[in-house]
Structure 1
Amino acid sequence: MKNVLLLLFFPLILVAQTGEPVSDTSYFVKQGSLFYEVKTLTYKDGSEQTFKTLIGDTATLIIAARDRLTSKAATFAVDAQFTSKFRRQFTDVLRDADAVKALTGQDPQKAIQDEFSEPFLSGGWTVKRDGITSTVTFTLNAQGNLRYAINAGATKQAVLIGRALRLKNYPSNGTDTDVYQLPGGAWINLDRTVVLRPPGNNDPVNRVAQPATTKKG
């Protein structure tokens, strides 16, 4: 009977821990002459999963650390090829939309804005930058174009193309900020220093895994 109860309970654990972890931390511990990696995944509901994996002796740990560094660097290099072009590509697709508008009289970007802008107009949005949270109000001007204002200040242009949004002249004039929607509803820029949230959204913005450190045990 005990085994049956465990089997019935196990799927409930899996359901509670579905989805992407909101944080991922790991560190090394030494027990005797051997090293282990301890990795903890934390989920939105507060549940955690901890895994302890044998690495080996000192020589094996050094090799594993070296391999991890070179592997991560290779991944970063590949990702940078794409993410470093996002701003330019955002501008390019807007230029393409302008060309279509000039040829047809119909604006593809405006059509996307009309389809996706309703949640922005509900009020209650906030933006956090450099640890400071400000209110953001989105409105439509007389021409039906999306605008935003920080802390009830001057309105500025917001360019919405689905799950990507360009805040013109934010945080200051001459500087634009592009943010992208995460599955949980928050919007972030590429280095996550700007977080735009809809009303009532408190979903954790997934953090990069903390650097592994060595603990003596």
Structure 2
Amino acid sequence: MTLSFFDQFAIPQALGIPLIIIAILTPPLLILTIMNRFISNRVSTLQLWATKTFTKQLMLPVNTPGHKWAAILTSIMLLLISLNLLGLLPYTFTPTTQLSMNMALAVPAWLATVLLGLRNQPTISLGHLLPEGTPTLLIPILVIIETISLFIRPLALGVRLTANLTAGHLLIQLISTAAFVLTSSMPMTALLAFIVLLLLTGLEIAVAMIQAYVFVLLLSLYLQENV
């Protein structure tokens, strides 16, 4: 039976139980800890420092009224990082390789920033559709172009995240398959492919974290335009 490389994006099951359920329950057990002290150990201190650093860097370009979104954006980023790294574990499934899930995160967040701008500063928000000093003849064309670019933003957010993770997983699958097939006939080539696979896995871990940060960073920039 010939398996497709895209089978890795299907949810594996054992005894009829989706293994993604076990995989999703694992990160909260590692991140959330019950404690009776402010700082319990080095791990929780490192988590607190990393979260604070991410949030501070994320809110740096945003005006003070937009700082109310800090908890929401940080939560989305931690969720995406957990789900992205989850797909690198064996017998798991990467939910963020599905465009439907990424769009379900991108569209409401983007729409909330747009509605916030229309409610608080409608003139400035609508003014983004027409740059200052535009010639009269170009006004209708520029309004249409800026409107299209505005509605493309959530699609770009979702597609960027999906494409980067899908491409990385497929590349890992291809190289690992080549290393396995060449083990018996060309051991040196298989060893080289295995080394490349290890390097690519490290790169994919970085991509998983960077893409989550880029997703939320773009949302913060959209928020900055509307606060």
Q: Which has the larger radius of gyration?
A: 1
TM-score, with structure 2 as normaliser: 0.29
TM-score, with structure 1 as normaliser: 0.30
Q: Counting strand residues as a fraction of each chain, which structure ranks higher?
A: 1
Higher relative contact order (CA 8 A, sep 6+): 2
Q: Counting helix residues as a fraction of each chain, which structure ranks higher?
A: 2
